Amino acid sequence: MNSVSNPQSDNDDVTITVCPDGPLLVRGPVTLIDADGNPIKKERPTIALCRCRGTSIAPFCDGTHKKRRRRQSST
């Protein structure tokens, strides 16, 4: 997994973890904004954002990616 964190702060770190063939896990104090500029309520300190576009609860992951065929790794 790959992670990107915010080097600007010590106690309020935001970390984004890229899960292979899965969601983006976002941890920390973030504000999600929809396409119209409205905040999206998050109910947990860690959220999973869908990357497969198959979720029924966009923008959050619902596990649909597990039902899809895994991407072939390039060798």
19 in a structural domain:
yes
Q: Compute the distance between CA of residue 18 and CA of residue 20 in angstroms, rounded to an integer.
A: 6
Per-residue pLDDT of the chain (75 residues; tens, 9 = 90+): 555 554 554 568 999 999 998 999 999 999 999 999 999 998 889 999 999 999 999 999 999 988 876 555 555
74 in a structural domain:
no
Say what the pTM is.
0.71
Structure tokens at 2: 């790959």
Give me the domain span that covers residue 48: 2-66
75 in a structural domain:
no
Phi-psi region of 7 (alpha: psi -120 to 50; beta: other; left: phi over 0): alpha
71 in a structural domain:
no
